[in-house]
Structure 1
């Protein structure tokens, strides 16, 4: 199972290397990794997506707390969260296909950030599922390049689980 782990660390040289080393020594691959300044000066938030069952993730959490500069570790997989990812996607687009690609771009609320004679570069921001979906739809045109950030996530203060809401049938 994929787990999303949020780690608050002191913003000092080598902390990311120590965390990545911890995962590497135990044979775990970090599928997604995003690091940036947190709400407090001198503190960074690391958001990671890793595969493992609950007991393995619990063990990794304990090991992370043993590292210098780690302030807080939270497995937010089952917690209601706002999750986002950024993707840049370069797709083949000639005069015959450009209008269809632009329609798809509008449906996904993506933005065109570069136009060339034979390609379009798109910016897609949203939950990770949105990135996967637009890649599948645009694949038939030919994808030239893809660059994705790691997933970032914050827990919802409201506690509203949007995944649950998506599965509930709305009665009017």
Structure 2
């Protein structure tokens, strides 16, 4: 099962490395990771997506919370739009060296509300900011019509809906 872990930690050298090291020590894979300073420049928010059962994720959360510089750890409900908003930015560079391929990529991009952000005589670069499911569907649609030459993703960012905020009571 896919899980999202949101971590509020001090913005200091080595903090990210310690969190990633904990996952490595426990043998868990990080699917995506994103980290950036918050509204407080001394704090960063890290969002990690991983897979595992609920008991393992609870154990990981407890271990992360014990790390120096970590203020708050929270599991967000992945895929439950009524509780969590999640987005990822992705670029797909695709082969578009014929008029048929160009038309197909343009049509697919329009269907998914994606943007073509770069055009060359051989390729198009398609950009989409969306949830994991929509990105996967766009990738599948593009693969059905053309060759994907390169994929670049920002990693998932997520926030809970409503007034509750990580690190605030």
> CA–CA distance in 2 between the matches of 1:88 and 1:112?
9
DSSP 3-state at the match of 1:138: helix
CA RMSD of aligned residues (A): 1.4
Quote the residue 2:167 is aligned against: none
Quote the residue 1:167 is aligned against: none
> CA–CA distance in 1 between the matches of 2:113 and 2:53?
35
Q: CA deviation at 1:45?
A: 0.5
DSSP 3-state at the match of 2:105: helix
Show structure 2 runs of 5+ residues with no match. 165-169
Quote the residue 1:89 is aligned against: 92
Q: CA deviation at 1:100?
A: 2.0
Quote the residue 1:57 is aligned against: 57
Q: CA deviation at 1:41?
A: 2.0
Once the two structures are superposed, residues 27-77 of structure 1 have per-residue CA deviations (whole angstroms, 9 ceiling, x without a partner) of 111111011111222111100011111111111111111100000000012
DSSP 3-state at the match of 2:140: helix
> CA–CA distance in 2 between the matches of 1:102 and 1:51?
34
> CA–CA distance in 2 between the matches of 1:50 and 1:42?
26
1:118 equivalent in alignment to 2:118: no
DSSP 3-state at the match of 1:18: helix
> CA–CA distance in 1 between the matches of 2:71 and 2:132?
27
Quote the residue 2:30 is aligned against: 30
User: After the TM superposition, which residues 131-150 of structure 1 pair with which residues of structure 2 at under 5 Å, given as runs?
Assistant: 131-140=135-144, 141-150=146-155
> CA–CA distance in 2 between the matches of 1:19 and 1:135?
30
Quote the residue 1:48 is aligned against: 48
> CA–CA distance in 2 between the matches of 1:41 and 1:118?
42
> CA–CA distance in 2 between the matches of 1:117 and 1:109?
23
Segments of 4+ moved more than 2 angstroms: none
DSSP 3-state at the match of 2:159: strand
Alpha-carbon contact 1:5-1:77 (below 8 Å) kept: no
Q: How many residues align?
A: 159
DSSP 3-state at the match of 1:97: helix
